[in-house]
Amino acid sequence: MNKTYKNFILSFIIVFITLLYFLYKYNNKIEQNQIDILVSNRVELVQNELTNQKNNALSLAILFSKNQNIISFLENNKPKELKKELLNSLENIKNYTNINNIQIQVHTKDLKVFVRSWEDKDEGLSLESFRKGLLKVKETKEPFVSNELGKRFNIKAISPIFNQNNEYIGTLEIILDYSDLRNRLKYMGIEIIPLLKKEYLPIATSYHEDNLLDDFVIIQNDYDKKFYDLLMQHKNYLSNEKFYYEYNNKIITQIPLGDIDLKSVGILMIFFDKNEQNFKYLPRYEYLGEINTKDSNFKNNFSKEKKEIIIK
């Protein structure tokens, strides 16, 4: 084998190896871009679902605040009758939509607890000192929804209540935890764990006995234990220094959870398989209930029509 032929073979091998290297780098770059796009899409999906939860809560708060029985019982100081009305309404929602994580609270115009659907204590308790959302609605007389910190950190949608003379007499509040959000995302192959910073436990007293995760407390009892164990083993995943982390074909990322002041008080940890591309569509939920109201226009617009609650 002459020297020229050897040089040709050597050059061919070098060129071939170089091409393989650049092809490998190119494929890695393409794959990385695809993962970046996938994670961005999943994060956007979670954010959209969270927004839908808030919008649904606000819609319910507005509807119930116009219920003439609720208005009358509040104005005439009949908490027992109002409690019964709220429980009947919640039962209808549960029967027609399978949504059972809703709680309702009604306050007087001076922001004191009048009725809570989930308990009978704290009647007359003033919430003025730590419930910024209630203060905002009292001042603006406009509905409002946010993630708000109180004894618990959850979605709170508040609507003002007006009597027949259009006088402000109080507020109605719809409260949602993150269980329904988790169920809907789980259907699409996404697991979440909502976390609150430990520094807010003096305010969020309901979570004193809940599990801790580094500098956070888990604010939802129903969560994926394998995801929790993974975060316990790799606490650096709780950091937002990177957009996302990869572990055995799994993606771990997060979005901030801000309160009414848009200040981050927690994070929503997100976990999914990067190879899962095809998600099932969410089911359609129909609300076939009837809102009890004496307002004829309101009846024509709402109670006589079939309502569909569709979260995309």
The band of 6, judged by pLDDT with boundaries at 50, 70 and 90, is confident
d(CA 215, CA 209): 15
| Cβ atoms of 293 and 303 closer than 8 Å | yes
d(CA 224, CA 159): 34
| Cβ atoms of 100 and 87 closer than 8 Å | no
Per-residue burial over 96-134, b = 16 or more CB atoms within 10 Å of its CB, e = otherwise: ebebebbbbbbbbeebebbbbbeeeeeeeeebeeebbbb
Tokens of 295: 């307002």
Residue 176 pLDDT: 93
Phi-psi region of 193 (alpha: psi -120 to 50; beta: other; left: phi over 0): beta
d(CA 111, CA 94): 28
The band of 69, judged by pLDDT with boundaries at 50, 70 and 90, is very high
Lowest mean pLDDT across 124-138, 267-281, 293-307: 293-307
Does the pLDDT at position 30 exceed 90?
no
Does the pLDDT at position 41 exceed 90?
yes
Tokens 């995760």, residue?
213
| pTM of the shown model | 0.77
Higher pLDDT: 59 or 27? It is: 59
Does the pLDDT at position 81 exceed 70?
yes
Tokens of 75: 């104005």
Output DSSP code: residue 235: G
* Domains in the chain: boundaries: 60-177
Residue 112 pLDDT: 94
Tokens 């789980």, residue?
186
Residue 298 pLDDT: 44
CB-CB neighbours of 193 under 10 Å = 24
- Per-residue pLDDT, averaged over 299-309, amounts to 40
Output DSSP code: residue 107: E
Tokens 């190896």, residue?
17
The SS3 assignment for 140 reads: helix
Q: Which tens digit of pLDDT belongs to each residue from 222-250?
A: 899 999 999 999 999 999 889 999 999 99
CATH number of 60-177, picked from 3.40.50.1000, 3.30.450.20, 3.40.50.300, 3.40.630.10 = 3.30.450.20
Residue 26 pLDDT: 66
Does the pLDDT at position 27 exceed 90?
no
Residue 193 pLDDT: 96
